[in-house]
Structure 1
Amino acid sequence: MPSLDSIHWQFRGSVFRCQLSMNYPNLGTIYFQREAGNRLTLNVHSVFVHFPSLVSYSQTASPWQELKTYPSQSVEGYSAHKMGDIQLQRQAPVNILNGMVSSKWYQINFKQNSGNLVFDLAPVNFQSAENQFARCVAGLLPKGFQELKKTTYYFSSGSSTLSDAKKSLIGDIGLYVNADPSVIAVLVDGYSDAKGNRLENLRLSRIRAEHVEESLLLAGIRPSLLQVRAHGVRALIGNPESSLNRRVVVRLVKKPAGGKDDV
């Protein structure tokens, strides 16, 4: 635990992601994060985190309270994609953040071969940043890029009509594309099954794609971003007459900082 006067929780966020973080001098950074379309996580970045065998947390007494031992709870969901970075998932981040909002102090314990690593989480200089974090979370987009970068809409045999429920999903795409200037194209590809005449199937796949295009335009997507293509019975999936082939696929193309398109 750093000295109390050096504890400063910081907020940063957008409609895509909200973060509430604190830096531990010579140890690392810990931050709560909520991304559009995802649950709250608690993330730790430290060179001292070495793929722990067990992660647990417990409430702890503040320095001005009588010393008291609280029960420890194992973190059921956590992932370490590389050494030095670990993400706590599921219920633990929610419990810890809600407790800190109520002025409770916590410890997170990482059990490792090299010895235990303990982070203390203190709700000091916390409330203002947490209030900004809460407002940010309330304004997040319904879904993020990972959920929307490729979406598939299926149709009944011979039909080109989208249900109202599917149209609402297209609304989420519109919200995202209008908020993210790095999206440089929205690809709309129509397909059909192999029932009936080949040319008729090609025509039907185009009508389906154009129907989805119309819904995307109504969702506010600029016409210049849309690219519509019809493929008919090309790229069949499994049984040629399967319902999986009566589909329109919408893909978002982003231009990342590196210059290569991200589809």
Structure 2
Amino acid sequence: MSFFKLDTSCRSTKVTQKLGTILGTGLAVATILTASTANAGVRQYTASLENSHWQVTNNSRLNCTLSHNIPNYGEAKFVSKANRNNNMLFELDMLRLPDNYSLAEVRSVAPNYRPGMNSYTIADMKLYKQFSPSLDKKVAWTMLSELEQGMNPTFYYNDWYSDNDKISVGLSNARFMRAYKEFVGCVGNLLNYSFDDISYTVLNYQSNSDKFTKASERRMAMISQYLKLDTELELVLIDAYSDSYGGRWNNLELSKRRANKIREYFVKNGIDTSRIEAKGYGEKRHIASNETILGRGQNRRVVIHMEKPIEF
């Protein structure tokens, strides 16, 4: 009796194991089929190992750009510009812009040669019809960090031309490190001020003199350094003014001398004379009262206004 029970138990165990194997195989097949079905409608864009190419396309004290070509899709760019704050921007320059507004999920995905690594969501990115999508500083640095660690930041979104299709756009980490190190070096060497910080500048002078105050001297050094680097600058306008002490004609001549001195300073620093306009206005256009020392100091001024092409 006990033997029969033991035999039944053994047979039950064998049947159970066999059934489990069959079920397990069926589940595995079902999983494979499900995965195949799920992937059937995914269009993938990414650079192969052979085609992956990262390069620093801008390397100056004004602009650093790290770019990566995505075959048949467009270009990924990490951009950092001269600024008072350490800034960064990621741009996905598509060959074909979206037809309507949607969202893309940005995930950090392990490459095929690193099985077992978990992926995770970094952020969501808005896709617009009018212009290429972008991501702010924190997310951009996170993506660079993931690439540095051998991961592939990847964008997933629904195809706006086909409801049944999904699109996957991956950034390959192949041949990334060399260009990344050059880019980081460029970012560390950026000016700590931007064009907007100096495009409109008011400089003040010592009384009855064409000598700057200490603060204005420091400002002139910043402007001069920027002008040497920015070749796209179109026009520098220099307008000089005086207070009402010392005679009207003398003040007019003094303001002209101040304007021309700045003009000569810029020319010596490599700025084309055709791009500089300097004028002296004397006692005109006071911005403060001439009855106080502080007010007269504000009126003894030169306004420098710089213009450059509008970026689209």
Residues 97-146 of structure 1: per-residue CA shift (max 9 Å, x gap): 13322323222356786677543223111112222222333444555555
- 1:4 match: 49
Measured in 2, the distance between the counterparts of 1:79 and 1:191 equals 50
Instruction: Kindly tell me the number of residue pairs found equivalent between the two proteins.
Output: 250
2:296 is equivalent to residue 248 of structure 1: no
- 2:187 match: 137
Structure 1 unaligned blocks of 5 or more: 257-261
- 1:100 match: 147
2:200 corresponds, among 134, 140, 151, to: 151
Measured after TM superposition, the shift of residue 42 of structure 1 is: 0.8
Deviating more after overlay: 186-195 vs 27-36 = 186-195
1:178 corresponds, among 225, 228, 231, to: 228
TM-score (norm 2): 0.60
**SS of equivalent to 2:67:** strand
**SS of equivalent to 2:202:** strand
**SS of equivalent to 2:133:** strand
Q: Structure 1 residues 180 and 70, CA, compared in 2 at 3 Å: closer, same or farther? A: closer
Q: Structure 1 residues 138 and 56, CA, compared in 2 at 3 Å: closer, same or farther? A: same
Q: Structure 1 residues 155 and 145, CA, compared in 2 at 3 Å: closer, same or farther? A: closer
**SS of equivalent to 1:6:** coil
Q: Indicate the structure with greater helix content.
A: 2
Measured after TM superposition, the shift of residue 61 of structure 1 is: 2.4
Given that 1:212 and 1:248 are in contact with CA atoms closer than 8 Å, whether structure 2 keeps it comes out as no
**SS of equivalent to 1:85:** coil
- 1:62 match: 111
Q: CA RMSD in A?
A: 4.2
Q: Percent identity?
A: 24
Q: Structure 1 residues 196 and 155, CA, compared in 2 at 3 Å: closer, same or farther? A: same
TM-score (norm 1): 0.69
Structure whose alpha-carbon radius of gyration is higher: 2
- 1:121 match: 171
- 1:259 match: none
2:64 is equivalent to residue 18 of structure 1: yes
Structure 2 unaligned blocks of 5 or more: 1-44
2:221 is equivalent to residue 167 of structure 1: no
Given that 1:187 and 1:252 are in contact with CA atoms closer than 8 Å, whether structure 2 keeps it comes out as yes
Measured in 1, the distance between the counterparts of 2:214 and 2:195 equals 22
